[in-house]
């Protein structure tokens, strides 16, 4: 995979959501809020799963890949 393709992948809304979720979860674990970290995982994972499903099925110019045309 080329660097440009990797950059496009990292710019998708899905990857931004995943990185935000990971950051929130790690912070909650750092401050010993294990229950809140679990609730965060349970609340955000369906959204991320849905976003993956939609981005896999929709292939058009207005896809979520930073202006990359498919």
At 58 the pLDDT is 66
Domain ranges of the chain: 13-57
CA distance 14 to 26: 18
Q: In the block, which residue shows the tokens 């499903």? A: 53
Q: For residue 14, count other CB atoms closer than 10 A to its CB.
A: 20
At 35 the pLDDT is 96
Per-residue pLDDT of the chain in tens (70 residues, 90 and over written 9): 677 776 666 666 677 888 888 999 999 999 999 999 999 999 988 888 887 777 777 665 455 555 554 4
At 41 the pLDDT is 92
Region of 32 on the Ramachandran plot (φ > 0 left; ψ -120 to 50 alpha; else beta): left
At 43 the pLDDT is 92
Q: Do 8 and 68 form a contact (C-beta atoms < 8 A)?
A: yes
At 27 the pLDDT is 97
């Amino acid at each position: 995979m080329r660097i440009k393709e990797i950059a496009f992948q990292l710019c998708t809304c899905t990857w931004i959501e995943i990185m935000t979720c990971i950051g929130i979860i790690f912070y909650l674990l750092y401050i010993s809020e294990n229950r809140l970290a679990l609730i965060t995982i349970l609340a955000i994972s369906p959204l991320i799963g849905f976003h993956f499903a939609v981005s896999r099925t929709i292939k058009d110019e207005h896809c979520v890949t930073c202006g990359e045309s498919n």
